Amino acid sequence: MPFRRAAVAAIAVLTVAGCGSGAEAPAAPPAGDSTVPVVASTNVYGSIVAAVGGDRVSVDSLIDDPAADPHSYESTPADAAAVAKARLVVVNGGGYDDFLTQLVQSSGTTATVVDVAAVSGLAPAEEEHSEGEAHEHGEFNEHFWYSLPTVQKVATQIAADLGAADPADAAEFTANANAFNARVGELITRAEAIGKAQPGVRVAVTEPVPGYLVQTAGLTDATPPEFTEAIEEDTDPPAAVLQETLALFSGDPVRALILNAQTETPSTDQVRDAAQTAGVPVVEMSETLPDGASDYAGWMGGQIDALSGALGVTPSGS
C-alpha cells in the first residue's frame, strides 16, 4: 500500500482520537469486569500488551493470521464491537492499519489510543500541503515493530496508559514494562553484535519490513528501492529493476536474502530462486507472530539468531 501518502493523515486522526497517554480519561470499566479490555491491530502489539498487562488485561488482536498480508486486511463487525468496548487501542499508524483508525473514528469510543507511529518519533512531522498536492515522505518506513528502541517506548507508553485505566495495578504494569524492555535491550545487543562481527555486509530484502533491524545490525541493504516499493505496494517492479535485483546474487553476491513470507509474488519467487541457486541463505521474517507464538522477545530473538546464522555470526546471549 502507498503508506507514505497516508502517514501524516493517519497520525493526525489518531492524535485527535487520543494518542499516547490520551487526551480523554479512559471510560470506566463495566461493573464486575476485572480486566482492562485492549484492542491491538496485530498480534505483535497484542503480545507487547500481554507482556505489560499480564492477567490484568484481555487483549483482542485483530490481525493474527501468519499466512495473510496485513496490508490487505478488511475489518469485521466483530472488530468494530471490540473497539467500542475497549479502554485501550494500540494502532501501528503511519498508514499501515488504517482500518483500525477508521474503526476508532466510527465507534465513538473514549478509549485511549496508543499510536506507535507518533510514539516512535520516526514518522515525519505533519506538514502543510496545498489542495491536490501529493504527500511524499521519502524513506519513511512504517514497520515500527522492527525498531527495537521503538518497541521499548511503546511498552513504556502502554504501561502508563494501563496504569491510568487501572491505577490499583499501575506499579505492576510499570514493573512488567521494565522487565520486557530489559529483554528487548538484550535483543538490541544481539543485533548490534552482527554488525560488529560483519560490519556493513550487504544483504537483500524483498520488502522494507525488516529495515530498522537491518540498520540496528549494521548491515547494508543493497536492494534497489524501486523493487521493495513495488512489492510493498502490490505492484510488479519494472523489468529492469527486477533484473538489477536478481543481479545481486551473481558476481559478488549479497550475503543473505531477507524475505517477507507473508507477501510472496512471482517477482519475489524469482528473487528467492536466484538466492537459492547462488547458495545465498534465505532468512524469512514476518509481519505477525507465527502460529503458536505469543512472546514478542522470543519471536524477534529467533529472527535475529536466524540472521546471525545466515551471516556466519555466532549468536550471543540467546
Same-domain pairing of 172 and 205 = no
Could you tell me the pTM of the whole model? 0.86
pLDDT in tens, 193-210: 999 999 999 999 999 999
Contact, 87 vs 26, CB < 8 A? yes
Q: Is the pLDDT of residue 1 over 80?
A: no
Closest CA to 225 of 205, 239, 247, 243: 205
Q: Grid coordinates in use for 240?
A: 529492469
Is the same domain home to 131 and 110? yes
Indicate if 193 and 174 belong to the same structural domain.
no
Cβ contact 98:6 at 8 Å = yes
List, for residues 234-280, the tens digit of each pLDDT value.
Answer: 999 999 999 999 999 999 999 999 999 888 899 999 999 999 999 99
For 104, list phi and psi in degrees, rounded to 5. -60, -45
Residue range of the domain that includes 210: 186-310
Going 269 to 275 to 277 to 281, the CA torsion angle's sign is negative
pLDDT at 33: 57
102-161, pLDDT tens digit by residue?
A: 999 999 899 999 999 999 999 875 543 333 333 333 468 999 999 999 999 999 999 999
Sign of the torsion formed by the C-alpha atoms of 63, 67, 73 and 78: negative
Q: What percent of the chain has pLDDT over 70?
A: 84
Please enumerate in sequence order all residues whose Cβ is within 8 A of that of 69, keeping only pairs 6 or more positions apart, or say none: 262, 263, 287
| Cα 261 to Cα 153: distance, rounded to the nearest angstrom | 27
Q: State the pLDDT at residue 69.
A: 75
Q: Does residue 211 share a domain with residue 166?
A: no
Give, in degrees to the nearest 5, the angle at Cα 90 between 87 and 95.
135
CA triple 188-189-191, angle to 5 deg: 65
| Residues 137 and 218 reside in one and the same domain | no
Residue type, 128: E
CATH code for the domain in which residue 198 is found: 3.40.50.1980
Looking at residue 148, what is its pLDDT?
98
Question: What's the structural domain count of the chain?
Answer: 2
- Per-residue confidence at 3, pLDDT binned at 50, 70, 90? very low
CA 154, distance to chain mean position in Å, is 11
- Identify whether the C-beta of residue 134 lies closer than 8 Å to the C-beta of residue 61: no
Tell me: the pLDDT tens digits for 34-76? 899 999 999 999 999 999 999 999 999 999 988 777 878 889 9
Residue 315 lies in a domain: no
Residues 137 and 206 in one domain: no
Residue 140: C-alpha distances to residues 154, 185, 221 (Å) = 19, 24, 15
